[in-house]
Amino acid sequence: TSEQIEHLHRRFKQLSHDQLTIRKENFDSIPDLEFNPIRGKIVHAFFDKRPIEMNMDEEQLDRFRKEKLKFLFHMYDSDHDGKITLQEYRNVVEELLSGNPHLEKES
């Protein structure tokens, strides 16, 4: 809706500090991201350079989905061996849970 577009525009201007582009350092001013354990991955995802086309056919959409899955997979395949090991999985879970003050480390 036009209201959503206006809200998005205001948020863009706020994040970019009224500049024409948003830079990685602009994400430093987002309080909700400051203590997020996967902050770096979230910021990196915003700067993924793959093009998105609005009028994709089914084949293009399928290819785009596969590329997105590969991107997400590589976020967690920290040694880039094409596998997510149990240790890599544990690291992800620990990262996600480490910021939760209601859980003890053993949990």
How distant is the alpha carbon of residue 32 from its chain centre? 13
Q: Residues of the chain with pLDDT > 90: what percent?
A: 4
Give the predicted TM-score (pTM) of the model: 0.43
- Structural domain includes residue 85: yes
Q: Please give the tally of structural domains in the chain.
A: 2
pLDDT tens digits for range 31-81: 877 777 778 878 887 777 666 666 778 888 788 888 888 888 887 888 889
Residue 107 lies in a domain: no
With CA atoms as reference, report the closest residue to 45 among 67, 71, 70: 71
Same domain, 41 and 73: no
End-to-end Cα distance, the chain:
43
Handedness of CA 14, 16, 21, 22 (dihedral sign): negative
Q: Quick check: is 4 in a domain? A: yes
Q: Same structural domain for residues 73 and 36?
A: no
41 and 82 belong to one structural domain: no
pLDDT for the residue numbered 42: 80
The answer to whether residues 40 and 72 belong to one domain is no
Dist CA 28 CA 30 (whole Å): 6
Say yes or no to pLDDT of 101 above 70: no
Whether residue 14 is predicted with pLDDT greater than 70 in this model: the reply is yes
For residues 70 and 90, state if they share a domain. yes
Residues 35 and 70 in one domain: no
Domain residue limits at 72: 55-102
* Contact present, 95 and 38 (Cβ < 8 Å): yes
